[in-house]
Amino acid sequence: MRSIWAGAISFGMVVIPVKLYAATEQRDVAFRQVHAEDGGRVQYRRFCSLDGQEVAYSDVAKGYELATGDVVVLTDEDMQELPLATAKRIDVLHFSPAGQLDPILSNKAYYLEPEPPGVRAYALFRDALERSGRVAVAKVAIRQREALAALRVRDGVLVLETLLWPDEVRTPDFKFLGEDVDVRSQELKMAASLIDTMTEDFDPALYKDTYREALEALVQAKIEGNEVVRPVGATASAGKSDGPADLAETLRASVEAAKANRAKTSDKADKADKADKADKADKADKTSGKADDAEPPAKAPKPRRPASPRRKASA
C-alpha cells in the first residue's frame, strides 16, 4: 500500500507520528467510453464557454458564482493561504461511546501506521482506546478539506474514519411520516418472530459481488470468442508501472500477445518450409546438371565374326 498522508495524532500533550493509508478500495470492472463502430475512445476536453478555446488544466481555477452571475475566482495560491490547523495533524477533540456515532455519518476509512519513533506511543494509545470501549472524535484535513473523524481500533490497527458534517446529512421529509399508521400488536409480534428466526451472526466472507463476477465472465467470453476491436493506429500497450491495469485491458493485451506469438511462429514455420523446399530443388537442379554435362560412356566394340575359309581352286 502507498501512504497518502503523513502527520501526527495529537492526543493531549502526546504526539504520535503516523502515515495514512486507504483502508478500502472499490472493486469493479473499469470501462471507457468508446465509439461503438471502431472502438475509438470518446474524449472530453475543457472549453471556455465565452471564447470557445480549449483551456489547459494549469489555467483552470475555482469559481464561486454569485446570484448576479458574477464569479469570484479563487486560485491555488488563494487556497494555500487559508489557515488549516489540521493539515498535518489528527487533532483528538474528545472521546465518546461508540454507540453514539450514527452510521449515516460514516464516509471513508483509513489505516494509521506509526512511524518508527512513535511505535510505543501508538501501541499505548491503541490499547487504552480499545479497553475504554469508546471512540476518539477528532478533526483532520485530507486533500485540503477538513473533516470530522473518529478513531477506533480494528485488528490491532488504529482506523481513522472520516465523518460527514451534521449539516451534510439530509433530513427525511416524506409524507407518510405525518400519517397515523395503525400497526396491530399481533402483526408486530409475528414480524418480531420472523426477525428472530432469520437472525444469525454476520460473516462478511459469505458474501460476494455476483454481478461483478458475471461481468468479468462476459468480458472473458468475448475475448475468447475474439470479439475485440483494435482502433485504427492503436498498438498493443505495454504494462503500466503506475498501477494495476483493469481486467479488460489485461485480458486484451494477453490475447494480442498470444496472437502475435502465434503469427511469429507460423511465419517462422512457413519460412523454414520454403527454405527446405528451395534447398531440395537446388540440390535436384545441381544433380540434373551434372548428369547432362557428363560424357556418355563409350560403346563396347561389336565382336568380329571369324573369317570364312577360302575354297581351293579346282584343277
> Domain 1-30+78-167 falls in which CATH fold?
Ku70; Chain: A; Domain 2 (2.40.290)
Query: pLDDT averaged over the chain?
Result: 80
**Statement: the pTM of the whole predicted model exceeds 0.85:** no
Question: In sequence order, what are the residues at sequence separation of 6 or more whose Cβ sits closer than 8 angstroms to the Cβ of residue 236?
Answer: 253, 256, 257, 260
- pLDDT per position as a tens digit, 230-257: 787 766 655 544 444 455 565 566 566 6
Whether 19 and 116 have beta carbons less than 8 Å apart is answered as no
State how far the Cα of 105 lies from the Cα of 108, in Å rounded to an integer.
10
**pLDDT for 308 beyond 50:** no
The pLDDT of residue 69:
85
Mean pLDDT is lowest, of 27-31, 201-205, 295-299, for 295-299
Domains of the chain by residue range: 1-30+78-167, 209-284
Burial class (CB in 10 A: 0-12, 13-18, 19+), 222: middle
**pLDDT for 180 beyond 60:** yes
**Percent of the chain at pLDDT exceeding 90:** 35
Give the Cβ contact number of residue 252 at 10 Å. 20
The pLDDT of residue 310:
47
State how far the Cα of 68 lies from the Cα of 150, in Å rounded to an integer.
40
- Could you give phi then psi for residue 34, rounded to 5 degrees? -130, 160
Average pLDDT over residues 11-19: 88
Mean pLDDT is lowest, of 127-136, 202-211, 245-254, for 245-254
